[in-house]
Amino acid sequence: MSKRAANNNAKKRATTAAPDSPPTLEMVAKEAGVSIATVSRIINGTAKVSPERKDAVEAAIAKLNFRPNAAARGLALGKSNTIGVITQAIDSPFYGEGLRGIEDYLQQRGYTALFMSGNWDEQDEERCMSELLSRRVDGIIIFSGRLQDRQLANYAKQVPLVVTARNLKSPGIFSLPVDDEQGGMLATQHLIGLGHRHIAFIAGILDHPDASLRYKGYRRALAEAGIPHDPKLVVPGDFHEEGGVEATMRLLRSGHKFTALFCVNDQSAYGACLALYRSGLNCPRDVSVVGFDDLHSSSYRVPPLTTVRQSIRVLGESSGAAMLQMLQGEKPDISLPRVQLIVRESTAAPKSV
Amino acid sequence: MSKRAANNNAKKRATTAAPDSPPTLEMVAKEAGVSIATVSRIINGTAKVSPERKDAVEAAIAKLNFRPNAAARGLALGKSNTIGVITQAIDSPFYGEGLRGIEDYLQQRGYTALFMSGNWDEQDEERCMSELLSRRVDGIIIFSGRLQDRQLANYAKQVPLVVTARNLKSPGIFSLPVDDEQGGMLATQHLIGLGHRHIAFIAGILDHPDASLRYKGYRRALAEAGIPHDPKLVVPGDFHEEGGVEATMRLLRSGHKFTALFCVNDQSAYGACLALYRSGLNCPRDVSVVGFDDLHSSSYRVPPLTTVRQSIRVLGESSGAAMLQMLQGEKPDISLPRVQLIVRESTAAPKSV
DNA sequence: ACACCGGATGTAAGCGCTTACAAATTACGG
DNA sequence: CCGTAATTTGTAAGCGCTTACATCCGGTGT
């Protein structure tokens, strides 16, 4: 309350470079010689105001460098114009592009995105949810993550939710599934088409839905081509470069023959390429490598990586769009572009035997 | 105000899956049979409260799933427990790591980071500042950017600022400079030590301070080794992969002899490597390449990239720490670890002539 | 000239919280 | 057993904003 706030400011002033407490509507009103209601109406364009007052108020605003207090406005309006976004790691090249998509989309429409990292940890994600709810965000976008469908359905009672990479129907939730299975098929079919018969798969974390769908696509493509599926050629990874290195090393050491490698994501593929290089193998001459995601830097790898594009940027924009539609009370009609194979130079026909 | 808010909710309820308006302190108080002051005190631990009431209140909170409204609290307290962060591109692999550092650091200390992208555009940055000020963040961290020192000094009157990659003394501002010049020297000296005499430099954007300091370091190392500086070997880039590709191509086409390439950042180096590859040149056999930043994925390039590490993650944590110190009214005593050369496999002695 | 209407303004309540201050309760010494 | 000090609790003001409602104004129609 006022005493406290004043104290606070006084203290700050003494120590750091003291922000005077920022101007308020009331100060503007006084300066312009009108009532605060008038000022508010001018700022929001809520009602017609005579030109001379309008000028006076605008002058006062400029003079005082007034900026409306978002917290106060939020309180009065019951909404914050903020969308919370839970991502797994804000520094992941994969999620980063998506966040950018969300930010751009929302910002142009007067919303601000509030990002938090869930760290692939259920507890962390709950903490994020809690924080976001406490800030009374108008909606929450969840990029992947570990929260159970049940929990999500529950949160959806409190705030509209958009979740990606799931297929989950529930009131208050809109989900934006990625066609991972189709992507997995595309990648594998490409390799098969090139003539490969021994195609290894570097999986992500075992129970991760993205990973298992891509795996499913891989098996399906194999099956359709009449190639037996050899479980020995499937090794776990961790969605990161390191996991790709280790998985590939394990594969190499195991002695099982393979001429191509489908990696659950681009980062794993980067690791795989490095492992191949370390082992004196050339990509694509000795082993072809396909990734998934089409990260920006994949086209700048040496060699440029063949991969499945799912345009995470668009995913971001779309989730923003879906959220805004929900906020309008509409049922979102957003869907994602289809996944798409991007053939570059990390794949080639197997060496003739 | 209340009528409006009620309307709003009613409308929402009709359309999307209706969040009932969230519980308030008052509802908790009623439920627990105490006054709202008591509830507030329990939540904040501001005063001693009898155990039985405390239990009752906690039960009520749990039952109603109450979460204090951050906007209301912020309004009453005059602070938001939020630190604004202006970065240039939230999806840049470089900035991403820094943001993560900030987020982790602040989150553990009860603060939330609010990220916005300035897009290397002065106007965008101003827009971000404006938005952050309007949200009454307690402080702002600026990662690099285009804002003039003068403007920053001005903003600092309104809110404490931490800026990275500058050296700027002004009240209310703490700056955390990176030793770019030293880094540039380290990289160049490494190349010289390997026996290179014709070392090209792929610069960033012309007037960018980071770029020019690294350039300065490059020239200094050359001078100290008695190697004449050949301006023909310096070509502009854009801090991105694409710029690295183009710069290298230009260099190659120009016919000027060079056996090594120092790139203003890792992303440019990625591009350079690709251009070399496309031209049938091998790195490091034909041309050595050194980057700057040590992005996470640099150690997974083929070949792994020799680079200068400036630990952007630590930069992030440090700026968070500095900000919190400023908020305490202390003068931050933070400094960064020194830049450090990381020798990997993209550099080697020049081919014997 | 007067009742009336519509538009521009002002007044004040209320959004959910913190906290100064008052009131109520408890504890304690004499 | 009473007065008083030391708690614990409640009451209400105020944080900066929006907006329903009241007020005030000039302009019409008759």
Q: Which of residues 104-133 of A touch B (CB under 8 A)?
A: 112-117, 130-131, 133
Q: Is A326 on the interface with B (CB under 8 A)?
A: yes
DSSP designation for B114: E
Q: Is pLDDT larger for residue A4 or for residue B313? A: B313
Q: Is B75 on the interface with A (CB under 8 A)?
A: yes
Beta strands in B73-184 (DSSP E): 82-87, 112-117, 139-142, 161-164, 173-176
Summarised one tens digit per residue, pLDDT across range B43-98 is 999 998 999 999 999 999 999 999 999 999 999 999 999 999 999 999 998 999 99
Mean pLDDT for the stretch of residues A179-191? 97
Q: Is B169 on the interface with A (CB under 8 A)?
A: no
Q: Residue A100: which of B90, B267, B302 has the nearest Cβ?
A: B90
Contact B16 A130 (CB under 8 A): no
Beta strands in A54-204 (DSSP E): 82-87, 112-117, 139-142, 161-164, 173-176, 199-203
* pLDDT reported for residue B19: 53
Take residue B3 and report the two structure tokens written for it.
Answer: 């009528």
CA–CA dist B80, B159 (Å, integer): 12
Contact A70 B297 (CB under 8 A): no
Phi, psi of B236 (to 5 degrees): -75, 155
Helical pair A70-77 and B70-77, crossing angle rounded to 10 deg: 130
Take residue B121 and report the two structure tokens written for it.
Answer: 């555009």
When pLDDT is cut at 50, 70 and 90, the band that residue A1 belongs to is very low
Residue carrying the six token digits 């949160």: A155
Amino acid A183 CA to nucleotide D7 C1' distance, rounded Å: 69
CB contacts of A91 in chain B (<8 Å) are 93, 96-97, 99-100, 296
- Answer whether A261's CB lies under 8 Å from A202's CB: yes
Angle at B111 between CA B325 and CA B144, to 5 degrees: 65
Query: What number of CA atoms fall less than 13 Å from residue B147's CA on the CB side?
Result: 29
Residue B126: how many other CB atoms lie within 10 Å: 15
Angle at A47 between CA A44 and CA A48, to 5 degrees: 120
- Answer whether A143's CB lies under 8 Å from A95's CB: yes
- Answer whether A194's CB lies under 8 Å from A349's CB: yes
Q: Is pLDDT larger for residue B29 or for residue A20? A: B29
Lowest mean pLDDT among A152-156, A160-164, B45-49: B45-49
Q: Which of residues 284-313 of B touch A (CB under 8 A)?
A: 296-297, 299-304
Q: Residue A302: which of B72, B158, B302 has the nearest Cβ?
A: B302
Distance from CA of A149 to the nearest CA of B (A): 16
Q: What is the average pLDDT value for chain A, to the nearest integer?
A: 92
- Answer whether B306's CB lies under 8 Å from B346's CB: yes
Residue type, B181: E
- Answer whether B162's CB lies under 8 Å from B141's CB: yes
Take residue A193 and report the two structure tokens written for it.
Answer: 């088409």
Summarised one tens digit per residue, pLDDT across range B152-177 is 999 999 999 999 988 899 999 999 99
* Cβ-7 Å neighbors of strand C: A 1, 3-4, 34-38, 41, 47-50, 53, 72, 75-76, 78; B 1-2, 5, 21, 24-26, 36-37, 40-41, 43-44, 46, 66, 68-69, 72-73, 75-77
Residue type, B95: Y
Work out the burial of residue B211: count CB atoms within 10 Å of its CB; fewer than 13 is exposed, 13-18 middle, 19 or more buried. Answer: buried
Amino acid A7 CA to nucleotide C26 C1' distance, rounded Å: 33
Beta strands in chain A (DSSP E): 82-87, 112-117, 139-142, 161-164, 173-176, 199-203, 234-236, 260-263, 288-290, 307-309, 340-342
Q: With pLDDT > 90 as the criterion, what percentage of chain B qualifies?
A: 86
Nearest in space to A323 (alpha carbons), one of A177, A174, A180: A174
Nearest in space to B19 (alpha carbons), one of A8, A159, A246, A351: A159
**Closest residue in A to B160 (Cα–Cα):** A17
